[in-house]
């Protein structure tokens, strides 16, 4: 669509002034380098140590066991997530558009196998544990649920003494000794490695251990202490008193207000809105009304005040 | 057919792709446009400095990022000099976004897309959006608690619109590749394109209507 004549900008026929573009960039470079150096000397940069599964299982052993049991019986957040991790749910939608399910399961995670059964199977010289795993796997689903429910209820009354957990798992069958073995494996650091293991020697994909830890409380407890939760303006903040990604303020803002705040499709709706706003931002020159805003709200008079002053003076003389 | 009507044969130089590209480039961006030593008189405001400041910050980001990249992603956690360069990288990113946002607002209020300059705005706006993605992957590549928390939180938004199927924020290797190669190259190329468009089309002139109004006001005063 053509812009109106009032928004046109005919070629400049007026006077010119000298301008050293290379000098300007060089001075700017010196200023930015000096400012960045000064800010680094004064404030450095944040570097909170990452959490590990070993640390989680030692600091919060009951939470670790509760989370691992939820992974085993399929009641954890990851187990019920849907695409791209599994088919347990259809995922979020934007009206009739089901992008999350249409793109499919690209990073498959079977929480019971990946987080519990497969790591336990790596423990050597443990014939009793092998038998317990076989007993659990061979049991009908209702029996398995009864065992995990009994163990979860027992964990609600469990006490932690340092890294040890005292639990009375009546009716939990093989789940109790399996979980005790998993806790030992995790506290020794073996589970951190087991969840990264694939057919490759070199590893770069931390999807499984990160989602496992995110199902527990350690990461969110640390995040809450650093004001990083979703209702604390979430990930635009950074640990410590640093500016973080302040340019994400608009994206984060929508999560703080209705209808997004309480919607089950909040992520999809916020993303759809932000993609629409981003498209509008790129297309500002082509949107009638928006492209004329600078003419209607004459802030340009401040920017070009010397020019208009000289023009007015020229007209007066 | 007279001798004057004989179609002229194109020379070897005119048939050459290289020569034609050079001719076209020289026509669009002669040296005095590419590196101008004069500007229209109206280019006289501090707001114009923020474009150059953004480029200066980008140069600082790339330089400090190259040092960090040469030593590997874990280096800055365990050495003082590494932490120093990470600080330079972080703060130059903050300065980059500050300067770019001021530059962007300045250009908005100038209506800088006028006079056939729409593509210049589009290139700048896309650069801004790609820069956000570049900074985001930087936060995911830190290998510390920030990276863990941001990745586990951001995955839900990306998964909800299907992007997570091919852009996995919990895959460090993929995010690191995006951060140190793919997205920086995109930002630098887009910035170069944006700057070349500015040089080719020149800086947008002031609103003419305001000029006319000023003149009319002065004429009324004189009358």
* CB-based contact, A214 to chain B, within 8 Å: yes
Closest to A228 (Cβ–Cβ): which among B41, B149, B157? B149
Ranges of each domain in chain A: 5-44+285-316, 53-222, 226-282
Residue keyed to tokens 């790129």 = A282
A125 in the Ramachandran plot: left (φ > 0), alpha (ψ -120 to 50) or beta? left
CB contacts, 8 Å: A303 with chain B: 45, 47, 106, 109-110
pTM of this prediction? 0.91
Residue whose structure tokens are 């590990």: A52
Largest CA distance in chain A: 103
Which chain B residues contact residue A204 at CB under 8 A?
171-174, 176
Q: Which residues between 113 and 172 in chain A have a beta carbon less than 8 angstroms from any beta carbon of chain B?
A: none
pLDDT in tens, chain A (317 residues): 455 566 667 778 888 999 999 999 999 999 999 999 999 999 999 999 999 999 999 999 999 999 999 999 999 999 999 999 999 999 999 989 999 999 999 999 999 999 999 999 999 999 999 999 999 999 999 999 999 999 999 999 888 888 888 888 888 899 999 999 999 999 999 999 999 877 788 889 999 999 999 999 999 999 999 888 877 777 678 888 888 888 999 999 999 899 998 999 999 999 999 999 999 999 999 999 999 999 999 999 999 998 888 887 765 54
Domain containing residue B141: CATH number: 1.20.810.10
Token pair recorded at residue A67: 């989370």
Question: Would you say residue B150 lies in a domain?
Answer: yes
Domain membership of residue B26 (yes or no) is no
The verdict on residue B168 lying in a domain is yes
Residue A295 buriedness (CB in 10 A; 0-12 / 13-18 / 19+): middle
Please count the residue pairs, one from chain A and one from chain B, whose beta carbons lie less than 8 angstroms apart. Answer: 303
Q: Which residue in B122, B68, B126, B64 sits closest to B93, CA to CA?
A: B64
Q: Residue B120: give the domain boundaries.
A: 45-204
B154 closest CB neighbour out of A7, A28, A235: A235
3-state secondary structure of B219: helix
Q: Is residue B57 part of a domain?
A: yes
Any B CB within 8 A of A264 CB: no
* Token pair of A170 as six digits: 């009546």
Q: Does A316 contact B222 at a Cβ distance shorter than 8 Å?
A: yes
- DSSP structure string for A194-239: HTT--SSSS--B-HHHHHHHHHSSHHHHHHHHTT-SGGGTGGGS-S
**Mean pLDDT value across residues B179-189:** 98
Closest in B35, B52, B209 to A28, CB measured: B52
Residue B27 lies inside a defined structural domain of this protein: no
Block residue for tokens 């009641």: A75
CA dist A123 and A188 (Å) reads 12
By C-alpha distance, which of B95, B186, B97, B179 is closest to B143? B179
Q: Do A207 and B171 touch (CB under 8 A)?
A: yes
Closest CA–CA distance from residue A116 to any residue of chain B (Å) = 20
- Partners of A94 in the beta sheet? A97
Residue B214 domain-assigned (yes or no): no
Tokens of B78: 């365990």
Among A residues 53-112, those touching chain B with beta carbons less than 8 Å apart: 83-84, 91-92, 94, 99-100, 102-104, 106-107
The structural domain count of chain B equals 1
> What is the rounded distance in angstroms from the CA atom of residue A148 to the CA atom of residue A208?
22
How many Cβ atoms from other residues are within 10 Å of residue A159's Cβ?
9
B145/A51 Cβ within 8 A:
yes
Give chain B's largest Cα–Cα span: 84
Q: CA-CA distance, B55 to A32, in Å (whole number)?
A: 10
Complex confidence, ipTM: 0.92
């Amino acid at each position: 669509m053509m812009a109106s004549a009032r928004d046109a900008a005919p070629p400049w026929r007026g006077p010119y002034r000298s301008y050293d573009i290379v000098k300007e960039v060089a001075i700017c470079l010196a200023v930015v380098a000096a400012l960045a150096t000064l800010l680094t000397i004064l404030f450095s940069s944040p570097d909170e140590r990452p959490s590990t599964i070993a640390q989680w299982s030692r600091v919060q052993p009951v939470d670790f066991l509760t989370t691992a049991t939820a992974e085993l019986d399929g009641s954890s957040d990851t187990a019920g997530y849907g695409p791209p991790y599994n088919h347990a749910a259809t995922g979020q939608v934007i009206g009739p558009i089901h992008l999350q399910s249409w793109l499919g399961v690209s990073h498959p995670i079977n929480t019971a196998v990946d987080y519990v059964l497969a790591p336990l199977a790596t423990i050597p010289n443990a014939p009793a544990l092998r038998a317990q795993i076989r007993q659990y796997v061979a049991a009908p689903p209702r029996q398995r649920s009864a065992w995990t429910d009994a163990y979860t209820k027992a964990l609600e009354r469990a006490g932690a003494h340092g890294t040890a957990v005292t639990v009375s798992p009546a009716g939990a069958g093989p789940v109790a000794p399996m979980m005790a073995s998993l806790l030992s494996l995790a506290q020794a650091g073996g589970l951190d490695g087991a969840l990264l293991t694939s057919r490759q020697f070199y590893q770069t994909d931390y999807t499984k251990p990160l989602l496992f830890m995110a199902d527990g409380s350690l990461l969110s407890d640390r995040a809450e202490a650093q004001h990083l939760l979703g209702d604390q303006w979430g990930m635009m903040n950074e640990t410590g008193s640093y500016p973080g990604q302040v340019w994400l303020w608009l994206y984060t803002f929508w999560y703080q207000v209705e209808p997004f705040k309480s919607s089950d499709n909040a992520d999809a709706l916020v993303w759809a809105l932000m993609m629409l706003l981003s498209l509008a931002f790129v297309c500002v020159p082509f949107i009638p009304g928006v492209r004329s805003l600078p003419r209607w709200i004459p802030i340009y008079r401040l920017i070009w005040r010397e020019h208009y002053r000289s023009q007015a003076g020229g007209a007066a003389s | 057919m007279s001798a004057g009507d004989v179609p002229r044969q194109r020379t070897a130089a005119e048939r050459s792709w290289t020569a034609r590209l050079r001719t076209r480039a020289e026509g669009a961006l002669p040296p005095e446009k590419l590196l101008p030593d004069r500007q229209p008189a109206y280019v006289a405001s501090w707001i114009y400095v923020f474009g150059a400041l953004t480029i200066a910050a980008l140069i600082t980001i790339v330089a400090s990022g190259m040092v960090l990249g040469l030593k590997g992603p874990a280096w800055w956690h365990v050495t003082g000099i590494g932490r120093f360069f990470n600080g330079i990288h972080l703060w130059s990113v903050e300065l980059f976004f500050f300067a770019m946002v001021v530059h962007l607002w300045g250009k908005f209020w100038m209506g800088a897309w006028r006079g056939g300059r729409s593509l210049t705005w589009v290139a700048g706006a896309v650069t801004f959006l790609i820069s956000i993605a570049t900074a985001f992957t930087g936060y995911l590549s830190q290998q510390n608690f920030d990276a863990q928390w941001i990745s586990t939180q951001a995955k839900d938004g990306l998964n909800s619109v299907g992007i997570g199927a091919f852009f996995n924020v919990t895959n460090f290797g993929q995010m690191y590749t995006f951060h140190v190669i793919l997205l920086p190259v995109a930002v630098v190329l887009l910035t170069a394109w944006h700057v070349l468009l500015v040089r080719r089309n020149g800086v947008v002139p002031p609103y003419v209507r305001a000029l006319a109004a000023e003149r009319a006001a002065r004429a009324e005063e004189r009358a």
